[in-house]
Structure 1
Amino acid sequence: MEQISCKICNSKSELVFTSKCLKKYEVKYFKCNHCGYLFTEDPFWLNEAYERSINISDTGLISRNIFFSQILSVLIYFNFNKDATFLDYAGGYGLFTRLMRDIGFDFYWYDPYTQNLFANGFEKKLDNNIKFELITAFEVFEHFEQPNQELLKMFKLTNTVVFSTELIPQEIPDPALWWYYGFEHGQHISFYSSRTFEYLANKYDLNYYNTNGIQFLTKKRLNKNQLIVFKKLRNLGLLRFVKSRMRSKTLEDWERLKNKP
């Protein structure tokens, strides 16, 4: 059985299957039995996979960003400093940043690979002297070639990362049945179990919380049950309450941008 070192914990990882990416490259997938991380061989096909930075099959992009903006608005308002500065890491077209600014949160965008279409004027370059109350990274972790390096980069900027990625079950999903492998676009190269994130939390002295889709790695201690309740109550008046207490930045941003060349 072919083995290589795990990129997260350096333990031995075994070849578990091969599959065709981009309909032409036979790619090996390895599983670490220590931390539960599943990952591809060295992703030699990525330049081709990212010729279109947002893959053409991502039909849920808009609904997903609306969903996350509603949940994060409530979670930030009640658990973090709502008046602080926030960053959307690998923020794609900037839709999430724009939605959060429209609600009233001072969000900024960072993504070296994608054109910022919706949050123009609110870009941030990574600078270790600038700190953020919280960083979001939705549907990003599965794209990381070196997860440890990316986490270290983010935690130089913040004490809390809020993210989403589909967790792999204990039993590896059949390559023919699990859509999240993303073989057709070839951009998903890292897959995590809850055990993987628990390992990372322990390694970097963080707390890990999973609230049924929205996940946290943070230096703060949070009440997981409270997070779940806030998430469920967003459609029962809580989101409306938050919006009524926040001051939208839509017009403020228009004033700021209207005379820019």
Structure 2
Amino acid sequence: MSSPLIVKSVVEIGCCKVCQSEATLYGVTDFNTACHSQLPNRYVFPLTGVAIYYHQCQSCGLVYTHAFDDWTPSDFAQHVYNDGYAEFDPEYAIVRPRRNRDLVLQLFERFLGKKMLDYGGGTGTFARLMREVGMDMVAWDPFVSGEYPELNSYEFMTSFEVFEHTPDPHKTLAEVSGFLKKGGVFFFSTGTTDEVSHLGMNDWYIAPRNGHITIHSEASLDALFKAHGFQITHLNRWSHVAMKMVA
């Protein structure tokens, strides 16, 4: 028998997961709230009755939930990244990896001969597509078993739609930083809230069933990456480039 869906229901004022400033209650939605372009709306899946409370930092603007703070990888595998995940994110399997491959080949030609790592790449589809066109890329995902990458070994790293999935932003970026060489470049995607802040909880990107549990603003990404010795540039709402600064 599968274990029941259990989450933390934290509604009181707390501290931001990025900058430790005061955070207040932002809103609440059902666990089955989802997002993808083929849905007529975000609420077409049956309600679970499990309330997911989101908070917002009053300083850097980070929107996040404590609901999954205590979850193990097996909890996420059972309740989020399970056999039904493709129903909630149909572009995950091949559409997005192909699009990301074309984007990287276009934007980062000067790194194409370098040793590369795709962080959080699931079963490695994006890295495989890169290898098929001659790139030296491997993939590693903390939720998928596989050989642990070499530390301080990669000159170029990618990470697509990962930072909204982590309950611990500092832990995730520290792990990324550990794999990247000093002076290395990290290209990643995650949607920021700046252009849609007026939508509040109606922002389609806030979707716990997709695993979207930490939603950044540009300011929260700036604070996070600065704390780990990176210089960051926001290309647009979705794409960001960070360089690991040489000490």
Same-fold call, TM cutoff 0.5: yes
Q: CA deviation at 1:54?
A: 4.3
1:207 and 1:217 in contact (8 A); partners too: yes
Q: CA deviation at 1:198?
A: 1.5
Amino acid of the structure 2 residue aligned with 1:51: N
Q: TM-score, length-normalised on structure 2? A: 0.76
Output aligned runs, 1:1-261, within 5 Å: 2-22=12-32, 23-24=47-48, 25-43=50-68, 46-47=75-76, 48-52=79-83, 54-61=85-92, 62-78=94-110, 80=111, 82-114=112-144, 124-128=147-151, 131-158=153-180, 159-169=184-194, 171-175=197-201, 177-183=202-208, 185-212=209-236, 213-219=238-244
Identity %: 26
Q: Following the alignment from structure 1 to structure 2, what is the Cα–Cα distance between the partners of residues 53 and 77?
A: 36
Q: Following the alignment from structure 1 to structure 2, what is the Cα–Cα distance between the partners of residues 99 and 163?
A: 17
Q: TM-score, length-normalised on structure 1? A: 0.72
SS at match of 1:181: coil
Report which of the two structures shows the higher radius of gyration computed on alpha carbons. 1
Structure 1's 156 and 114: CA in aligned 2 closer, same or farther, altered over 3 A? closer
Q: CA deviation at 1:164?
A: 0.6
Q: CA deviation at 1:127?
A: 3.5
2:26 and 2:63 in contact (8 A); partners too: no
Structure 1's 153 and 50: CA in aligned 2 closer, same or farther, altered over 3 A? same
Q: CA deviation at 1:214?
A: 2.2
Q: CA deviation at 1:124?
A: 4.1
SS at match of 1:142: coil
Q: Following the alignment from structure 1 to structure 2, what is the Cα–Cα distance between the partners of residues 125 and 53?
A: 27
Q: How far does the alpha carbon of each residue in 1:199-246 deviate from its partner, in whole angstroms, 9 at most, with x for none?
A: 12332332111222321121369xxxxxxxxxxxxxxxxxxxxxxxxx
Q: Following the alignment from structure 2 to structure 1, what is the Cα–Cα distance between the partners of residues 66 and 142?
A: 24
1:160 and 1:220 in contact (8 A); partners too: no
CA RMSD of aligned residues (A): 2.4
Structure 1's 109 and 124: CA in aligned 2 closer, same or farther, altered over 3 A? farther
Structure 1's 174 and 201: CA in aligned 2 closer, same or farther, altered over 3 A? closer
**Higher helix proportion:** 1
SS at match of 2:19: coil
